[in-house]
């Protein structure tokens, strides 16, 4: 009994495998029989792709080329650090007065905090989500308060249209901003670079001023000549740091090649979209044609095999 069952299974498997044998000629014959179904599928996908390409909002790209401003210490802080660094560390004073690494500067350029600050200072929420904003009434047109865009929504949208890349050979940084209004894209790019320089400059000045406040207090609390000398040297370095920061507008990034109003849109790439739609439709049409044919053939053979035992 068991042998009969095994033989039946083997015969059934062989029967199904024979039904699923595929040759190039059979493939061509199947596809030719269903050519209109494949053509219809391809045509529909192409039309959908073309429709999207035509109605998609054109996007323009503003591009600025930057170089990271290298630290040029105006007060010979490296020498002071070697002489009084231990004292400064004990006092809780940062001799750098805003020293920064290249990685930190580039990371800040991409950061969420900078992006959100830019959105707030430029009041970009109504522009980024203009479809939900009623300019006449100066309010959001939403049915539910939960539908009002948040700062996180704004960050995600702006971040998807802002890119920062670094040329490893030259070390130059490229900042790009995409938007449907080419003039706005250029304006935002310029203001974004200006903001990052301003914030990093203000941070350096604030750090140095806080150090000065502490050092002046420490100066009055000690009578040691050696400590006084160390404090005066550090105070001098912090004052020079403040003067250097205030005098330098391009504090963190120097503009090498400023953005110009783009004339050619970067998105949507209509030809690529239509071609992709065509081949996607063709692929889907061929796949489903073959799948349905061999599925039906397998089911027919399966039924014939079952009927043979009745």
- Looking at the structure, tell me whether residues 114 and 248 fall in a common domain: yes
Closest alpha carbon to 97 in 71, 79, 117:
71
What is the number of structural domains in the chain?
2
State the pTM of this model.
0.69
Asked if pLDDT for residue 303 goes beyond 70, the answer is no
Whether 286 and 207 share a structural domain: no
DSSP string, 100-162: --HHHHHHHHH-HHHHHHHHHHTT-HHHHTGGGEETTTTEE--SSGGGSPPHHHHHHHHHHTE
Average pLDDT, whole number, for the chain?
80
Q: Could you list the residue range(s) of the whole structural domain that residue 129 is in? A: 59-265
Burial class (CB in 10 A: 0-12, 13-18, 19+), 1: exposed
- CATH, residue 222: 3.30.1890
Same domain, 119 and 157: yes
pLDDT digits (tens, 9 = 90+) for 92-148: 445 444 456 788 899 999 999 999 999 999 999 999 999 899 888 888 988 888 889
Kindly report whether the peptide bond that precedes residue 268 is cis, defined as omega within 30 degrees of 0. Answer: yes
Say whether both 242 and 150 belong to one domain.
Answer: yes
Q: What is the 3-state secondary structure (H, E, C) of 267-302?
A: ECCHHHHHHHHHHHHHHHHHHHHHHHHHHHHHHHHH
Could you tell me if 207 and 241 lie in one domain?
yes
Residue 16 has pLDDT above 50, yes or no: no
Same domain, 10 and 106: no
State the pLDDT at residue 65: 97
**Distance between CA 16 and CA 6 in Å, rounded?**
15
Q: Is the pLDDT of residue 245 over 50?
A: yes
Q: Which residues pair with 267 in a beta bridge?
A: 59
Let me know whether 66 and 174 are in one domain.
yes
Residues 79 and 45 in one domain: no
Whole-number pLDDT of residue 13: 53
pLDDT digits (tens, 9 = 90+) for 157-205: 999 999 999 998 999 999 999 999 999 999 999 999 999 999 999 988 8
In this model, does residue 209 exceed pLDDT 90?
no
Q: What are the distances in angstroms from CA 231 to CA 77, 103, 228, 240, 273?
A: 13, 31, 5, 14, 66
3-state secondary structure (DSSP) of residue 17? helix
Q: Which residue has the higher pLDDT, 309 or 85?
A: 309
Same domain, 211 and 78: yes
- Shared domain for 297 and 260, answered yes or no, is no
101 and 25 within one domain: no
Rounded to whole angstroms, the Cα distance separating 68 from 107 reads 12
Same domain, 84 and 29: no
């Amino acid at each position: 009994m068991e042998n009969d069952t095994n033989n039946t299974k083997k015969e059934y498997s062989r029967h199904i495998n024979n039904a699923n044998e595929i040759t190039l000629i059979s493939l061509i014959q199947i596809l030719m029989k269903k050519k209109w179904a494949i053509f219809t599928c391809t045509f529909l996908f192409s039309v959908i792709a073309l429709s999207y390409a035509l109605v998609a909002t054109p996007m323009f790209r503003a591009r600025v080329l930057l170089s990271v401003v290298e630290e040029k210490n105006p007060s010979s802080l490296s020498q002071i650090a070697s002489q009084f660094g231990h004292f400064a560390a004990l006092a809780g004073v940062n001799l750098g007065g805003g020293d920064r690494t290249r990685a930190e500067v580039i990371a800040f350029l991409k950061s969420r905090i900078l992006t959100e600050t830019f959105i707030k200072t430029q009041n970009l929420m109504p522009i980024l989500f203009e479809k939900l904003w009623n300019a006449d009434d100066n309010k959001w047109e939403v049915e539910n308060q939960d539908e009002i865009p948040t700062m996180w929504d704004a960050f995600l949208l702006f971040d998807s249209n802002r890119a920062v890349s670094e040329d490893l050979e030259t070390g130059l940084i490229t900042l790009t901003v995409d938007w449907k209004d080419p003039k706005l894209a250029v304006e935002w790019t310029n203001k974004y670079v200006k903001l990052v320089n301003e914030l990093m400059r203000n941070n350096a000045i604030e750090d140095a001023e806080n150090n000065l406040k502490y050092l002046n207090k420490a100066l009055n609390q000690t009578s040691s000549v050696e400590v006084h000398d160390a404090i005066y040297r550090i105070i001098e370095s912090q004052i020079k740091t403040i003067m250097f920061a205030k005098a330098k507008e391009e504090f963190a990034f120097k503009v090498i090649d400023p953005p110009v109003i783009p004339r050619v849109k970067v998105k949507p790439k209509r030809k690529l979209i239509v071609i992709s739609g065509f081949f996607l439709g063709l692929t889907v049409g061929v796949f489903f044609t073959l799948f349905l044919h061999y599925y039906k053939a397998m089911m027919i053979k399966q039924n014939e095999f079952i009927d043979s035992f009745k």
